Amino acid sequence: MIAAAHPAFVLHSRPYKETSALVDFLTPEGRLCAVLRGARGKAGTLARPFVPLELEVRGRGELKNVARLESAGIPPLLGGLALFSGLYLNELLIRLLPAQDPHPQLFDHYAATLAALAAGRALEPLLRAFEWRLLSDLGYGFALDRDCQGRPVDPLGLYRWLPDLGFEPVSQLQPGLFHGRELLALAEADWAVPGALAAAKRLMRQALAPHLGGRPLVSRELFMNRKESHRD
């Protein structure tokens, strides 16, 4: 059985048997893993991250076979920190997105984020927006302007984030807290508020951690090392 053609991006590819590759694709119908035969030929040159593709697969099980793979557009040119950012997005999707779970809006957001990275837009807001969209689409989102009791966030208050509950007001300073004004800025994606971007990064680290199973993200380490060398 051959499925209808889908737009797709390669998230990851690794050798499989003698001349094939095992490829993780992102499509509007979800993430799927398929065997690409003849991966050392023309199809293999297409099966790389960030290339817009048109994909057809065959098979009924979870592991399918690629029936057709063609270019569907000009790939965004990602280099330097933008390239590492794209690899980070791919690793997040592989680690968190269940197989064959449709998320068409997340697919569109991913494609738009790649285009924005290629256009040289500021990295941090793009990464934070994608992380938030991914959590929300997977059902792990939470209110940024209300505390865990449903009360409006106080701009002058202090809060800590609790998994599965949300933001709890606290009265004393402790590591990892958030100012109310920062949370309200995040709710509006207002990155001009002092401390908003740093708070967003800290919050996304805390919110993603329970779903990553304690294993560090390889791309995050590469990104940080590249960022440090870029500063030097």
Positive or negative, the CA dihedral 52, 58, 64, 66 is negative
DSSP letter string over 104-133?
Answer: HHHHHHHHHHHHHHHTT--HHHHHHHHHHH
User: If you ran DSSP here, which 8-state letter would residue 41 be given?
Assistant: S
The tens digit of pLDDT for each residue in 12-31 reads: 998 888 888 999 999 999 99
Domain boundaries, the chain: 6-71
The residue assigned the tokens 């790939």 is 75
Note the pLDDT of residue 227: 58
DSSP-derived 3-state class of residue 225: helix
Note the pLDDT of residue 19: 83
Q: Which of 144, 161, 155 is nearest to 206 (CA)?
A: 161
More confident residue, 221 or 75: 75
The tens digit of pLDDT for each residue in 36-76 reads: 988 777 667 888 999 999 999 998 777 889 999 999 988 88
The tens digit of pLDDT for each residue in 132-167 reads: 999 999 999 999 999 999 999 999 999 999 988 999
DSSP letter string over 157-209?
Answer: -EEEEETTTEEEEESS--TT-EEHHHHHHHHTT-TTSTTHHHHHHHHHHHHHH
| Two tokens, residue 188 | 């509006």
Distant-in-sequence, close-in-space partners of 142: CB < 8 Å, separation ≥ 6:
166, 167, 207
Classify 6-71 by CATH class.
mainly beta
| Two tokens, residue 154 | 């106080």
The β-bridge partners of 167 are: 161
Cα 130 from Cα 172, distance rounded (Å): 32
Cα 29 from Cα 55, distance rounded (Å): 12
